[in-house]
Structure 1
């Protein structure tokens, strides 16, 4: 029987690879679950695409501001325990764009898909706070359009982000996948950068596909991490 608590204790460097399931306990819907953020869309890839932003920026702004911002969400026990572990000996590579890992105290976080709360003008680069963005996406000074610093469908991951993520995975002797089905690439491809003898485990409500020899911990992640 695999003991995650013991594995964490034994590890020299722990890297957590996290997805939407880490933030559902904070009240942020899973992007693709029934009733989740994309439930009313025929094609979520369209709403959050670079093409939609470029061609229909008002519709993009309306959808993002109404459906993706949860400023009252607070870090939960998963964020807090991951912060404690990785601040001592590890890192977090997350698909989440909600910033809750950092708000939970984590110092070593690679935001693979960016952060909703970083907003900048596409024309001049000026940054504004998200409260201002919620009101309007137009930059009066230069006519530019503000956008959140997240990776949209049709956009590449920034090379420095990929490098940081690869480094975090390659350094780890314990890799723990939490709250993600691990189907989205290039994120899922990060496992190919792991040490050949690294221990791989996953915590998820239902089993997910993992390489041979990996350990699956099926259960609620809040319960699992509360016990670490």
Structure 2
């Protein structure tokens, strides 16, 4: 009997149109911590959601700045998961909808990426709107030109998502014959709610260390993403 990993690999190889939905577990092999595990960014931190909220940015910008700086890992490189997804993009229609804000899918060369929660590496001044380099932001949170407070273009708690990102993600999911969920607990909404827009006859594959709560029929391969993608 064919095992689940082989079955999932064969489905991906046969697919013509794939949407990958990826989370923090995809980037841990690149040395970027996840959020909620024992070694994650949130572990041991009181009220981390506040520290990454619009309210914190406005009321205590210095507190926000000190916390958000920990999320930057500019030397991190794409790992085998990012690279294999980019390779598949060369021969298939592939869209990647990611919760990650590290740009590693883009750095790996995938042409169709929706960074659903924005990017740490897109920084701008809230006062004048000018783009600011990450290296400048890492040195000081104030814009040298006008004195305004710089922020990364990520979706904070209490902020709305990009309408264009939502529309693009829904469009991709409605056309894909395979949806592959990788490295996420799939508990963050509305990201997890995108699955409801998939084509009814599409196949759903989940590659994750733990089972996820998902009503749709799916094939679960319970292992690290880097191990699975090394075999494709």
TM-score by length of 2: 0.95
Q: 1:104 aligns with which of 105, 108, 114?
A: 108
Which residue number in structure 1 is paired with residue 14 of structure 2? Answer: 10
Matching of residue 74 in structure 1 with residue 77 in structure 2: yes
Equivalent residues in 2 for 1:13-32, closer than 5 Å:
13-32=17-36
* 3-state SS of 1:183 partner: coil
Cα distance 1:12–1:119, how it changes in 2: closer, same or farther (>3 A)? Answer: same
Equivalent residues in 2 for 1:1-228, closer than 5 Å:
1-2=3-4, 3-65=7-69, 67-88=70-91, 89-228=93-232
| Deviation digits for residues 161-202 of structure 1 (CA, Å, limit 9, x no counterpart) | 111111121121100000001000000000010000000010
Name structure 2 gaps, 5 residues minimum: none
- Aligned mates of 1:83, 1:126 — CA distance in 2: 31
Greater mean alpha carbon deviation, residues 163-172 or residues 104-113: 163-172
Contact 1:14 1:86 in 2 (8 A): no
- Aligned mates of 2:54, 2:206 — CA distance in 1: 32
Contact 2:8 2:219 in 1 (8 A): no
User: How far apart are residue 212 of structure 1 and its match?
Assistant: 3.9
* 3-state SS of 2:142 partner: coil
User: How far apart are residue 14 of structure 1 and its match?
Assistant: 0.4
| Deviation digits for residues 113-145 of structure 1 (CA, Å, limit 9, x no counterpart) | 000011001122101110100011112333311
| Deviation digits for residues 55-99 of structure 1 (CA, Å, limit 9, x no counterpart) | 11111111111x101111111000000111134321100000001
Name structure 1 gaps, 5 residues minimum: none
- Aligned mates of 1:165, 1:123 — CA distance in 2: 31
Alignment: residue pair count: 227
- Aligned mates of 1:129, 1:38 — CA distance in 2: 26
| Deviation digits for residues 200-228 of structure 1 (CA, Å, limit 9, x no counterpart) | 01000111122242110001111100101
* 3-state SS of 1:81 partner: helix
Cα distance 1:211–1:87, how it changes in 2: closer, same or farther (>3 A)? Answer: farther
| Deviation digits for residues 39-61 of structure 1 (CA, Å, limit 9, x no counterpart) | 12121110100000011111111
Cα distance 1:6–1:68, how it changes in 2: closer, same or farther (>3 A)? Answer: same
